[in-house]
Amino acid sequence: MSETVTASEAPRENYLNRDHSVASWLLTRDHKRIAILYLIGISIFFALGGLMAVLIRAELATPQGDLFPADVYNRLFTMHGILMIFFFLIPSIPAVLGNFLIPLMVGAKDLAFPRINLLSWYLYMVGASFTFVSMLWGGIDTGWTFYTPLSTTFATGQVLLTAVGIFIAGFSSILTGLNFIVTIHRMRAPGLTWFRLPLFVWAHYATSIIQVLGTPVIAITILLVGAERLFHIGVFDPKYGGDPVLFQHLFWFYSHPAVYIMILPAMGVISELVTCFSRKKIFGYHFIALSSLAIAVLGFLVWGHHLFISGQSVVAGTIFSFLSMFVAVPSAVKVFNWTATLYKGSVSLETPMLYALGFIGVFLIGGLTGVMLATLGIDIHVHDTYFIVAHFHYVMVGSAIMGYLGGMHFWWPKITGRLYPAFISKVAAVVVFIGFNVTFLPQFILGYLGMPRRYHTYAPEFQTWNVMSSAGATVLGIGYLLPVLYLLWSLKYGEKAPANPWHATGLEWQTASPPPLENFEVTPVVTEDPYSYPDGTLRPKEVPVGV
C-alpha cells in the first residue's frame, strides 16, 4: 500500500475547512459531512433517551411510585425505547461511522448516491421531529413494540404521530442500506477484491441487507396499525376477523433482525480494533466475514421467540427455539476468532481496545443469556421480567454502544484531525464498563426473582437490587458524559493528528486526517490482503496515541 501521510504533509484544505457556511453543511453531498450531521442528530436523541432513562431509574430507586403516576411512567419508558432504538441505536454506527468510513475503506470518493445520502439524513431528522413533537404533545404509552390491540384500540396518546415519525425514519434506514450495498458492489478501488475488504465493510454489507429487506415490513406494519386505528379495517382486530398475534409476527420479522442492525456494525468495529491493537492479522478472516452474512440471514428466521407465550403454536415455538439457538453459532465464531487473535498478539490497551474488550465481555453475557431465553421453558419462566430487560440491554446497549464508542475513539483522529486525552479517555472506558454492569447485572437477578418489567412500583424485597441498578446508572451516565466533554475539548485544544496515529492498515489511514474533500489525492491501488500486521510486533514507541 502507499506511504502514509504525516500531519505536516496533510493538505491544508480538507472536508471540514473547505467552506464554513451553514448552507454548505445543510446542502452537502459529501459523505463525511453527512456523517457529522448524523452524529449531531443521534447525539441529541441519545441525550433525550438517556434523560428518560435517568428518570426511570430515579423512579425505581424506591418501591413506591414517588415521582410519576403509572401513566406518565408508561410514557417515559415507551419514549425512552423509541428514541433509543429508532433514533439512536439503529442509525448510530452505520449512519455515522459507516457513512464516514465506507467510501474511504473501499477507496472511493463518495458513496454511490450522494444526494440520496443527504436525503436519508433529512428523512431521519423529519421522522425524529415527528416523534419529538408527539412526545411534547403527550407521547404514547404502548411500549416501543406498539402491540395490538393496545396501540390500535385502547391507547389514547399520539400513536399516529409517532408511527408516522418511525415510518419516515425507516426510509432513511432503507436508503442508507441501499447506498452501502451499491457502493460496496460498484465502487471498490482497483485490487480491492471481496476478500480484501475490511471486516467493518463486510459487517455493514450484512447490515444493509437487513435494512433493505426488513425495514419495509415494519413500515407496512405501522401503516396497518394506523389504518386499523383510524378505519377499523380489521387486520389485527378479532372483532372484524383479524388477529393481534399477526401484528407480533410482522413486527418481530423486522424488529428482531433490527437487533442485528445494531450489533453487526459494532462487531465490524470490534474486528478492526482487536486486530489493530493486537498487532496481528485477524484470526479466521473468511469465517468472520461470512458469519456476518450468516447472522443477517439467520436473524430473519428467529422472530418467533418473542411470541413463545403470545398464543403462537407449540410447534412453531419449538422451530423458533431451535433456530434461535442456531444463530448463536455465527456469533460465537466471531467471539472465538477475536480471542484467538489476541492470543500471542502484542496487545496494547489503548482506549479503543478497552472498549473492544468490554464489548467481548458484555456481548458474551448478552449472547449466552440469549441462548437461555431461546429455551422455551426458561423463557416462559422469565417472560416479561427484568431478566429480559437486562438481556436486551446487554446485547443492544452494552455491546452496540461499546462498539460505537470504541469506533468513535479509534477514528476520531481521522474524522476531526485531532487527538483526545489518552488517560481520561481510558478512565471513561473503564467507568462505562463498570457502570453498565452495575446497572444491568442486578436486573438479571431481579428478573429471575420475578420482578415484572414496565411497572413503576414493585415489591419491597426487590429494592436493594434496584438501588444498585440506579446507582450503576449514575456511574454509567458519568461514563457517557466524559467522552462528550473531552472529545468536544479536543476539537479546539487537542493535538493535531497524523494520518495514521495507530499505525493501522486500511485505506482510510492512507489519507490525511481529516481527509480532503474527495478522500484521496490519487485513487489507491490495493495490492495485499487486509490486516497485514507483522504478527506480534510491538508498535514503535514514538507513535503518538494521545496528548
Partner 1 sequence: MRTDTNPHGVDPVRMYVSIFGGLMALTALTVGVSFIDFAHHLPSGWLNVYNDAAAMAIALSKALLVVTFFMHVRHATRLTKIVIAGSMTFFLFLFAFTLADYFSRGWLGPPGK
Q: Which residues bind partner 1 (CB under 8 A)?
A: 185, 213, 217, 245-246, 249-250, 253, 300-301, 303-304, 307, 312-316, 319-320
Gap between the Cα atoms of 230 and 524, Å rounded: 55
Here the cell at position 448 is 429471575
E strand or H helix at 246: helix 244-276
Nearer to partner 1, 124 or 254 (CB): 254
Nearer to partner 1, 314 or 538 (CB): 314
Assign residue 300 a region: left if phi > 0, alpha if psi is -120 to 50, beta otherwise?
alpha
Nearer to partner 1, 249 or 414 (CB): 249
Measured from the CB of residue 321, what is the shortest distance to partner 1 in angstroms? 13
Nearer to partner 1, 304 or 472 (CB): 304
Measured from the CB of residue 523, what is the shortest distance to partner 1 in angstroms? 23
In 3-state terms, what secondary structure has residue 462?
Answer: helix
- Residue type, position 458, single letter: Y
Gap between the Cα atoms of 327 and 268, Å rounded: 17
Nearer to partner 1, 313 or 457 (CB): 313
Nearer to partner 1, 317 or 472 (CB): 317
CB 296 within 8 A of CB 335: no
CB 374 within 8 A of CB 325: yes
Sign of CA dihedral 451, 453, 458, 464: positive
Measured from the CB of residue 212, what is the shortest distance to partner 1 in angstroms? 8
Nearer to partner 1, 202 or 303 (CB): 303
Nearer to partner 1, 136 or 314 (CB): 314
E strand or H helix at 206: helix 199-231
Measured from the CB of residue 184, what is the shortest distance to partner 1 in angstroms? 12
Nearer to partner 1, 140 or 209 (CB): 209
Give, as one character, the DSSP assignment of residue 235.
S
In 3-state terms, what secondary structure has residue 52?
Answer: helix
In 3-state terms, what secondary structure has residue 452?
Answer: strand
In 3-state terms, what secondary structure has residue 385?
Answer: strand
Measured from the CB of residue 303, what is the shortest distance to partner 1 in angstroms? 8
Measured from the CB of residue 249, what is the shortest distance to partner 1 in angstroms? 5
CB 356 within 8 A of CB 295: no
Measured from the CB of residue 258, what is the shortest distance to partner 1 in angstroms? 14
Measured from the CB of residue 55, what is the shortest distance to partner 1 in angstroms? 37
Measured from the CB of residue 311, what is the shortest distance to partner 1 in angstroms? 8
- The DSSP-derived string for 284-343 is THHHHHHHHHHHHHHGGG-GGGG-TTTT--HHHHHHHHHHHHHTHHHHHHHHHHHHHHHT
Q: What are phi and psi of 452, to 5 degrees?
A: -75, 155
Name the residue among 121, 117, 235, 221 with its Cα closest to residue 178: 117
Measured from the CB of residue 208, what is the shortest distance to partner 1 in angstroms? 12
Here the cell at position 91 is 442509525
Measured from the CB of residue 246, what is the shortest distance to partner 1 in angstroms? 7
Nearer to partner 1, 309 or 485 (CB): 309
List, in order, residues 6 or more apart from 164 with CB less than 8 Å away.
127, 130, 226
Q: At what angle do helices 31-59 and 400-416 cross, to 10 degrees?
A: 140
Tell me how long the chain is.
547
C-alpha Rg value of the chain to the nearest Å: 23
In 3-state terms, what secondary structure has residue 543?
Answer: coil
Nearer to partner 1, 118 or 307 (CB): 307
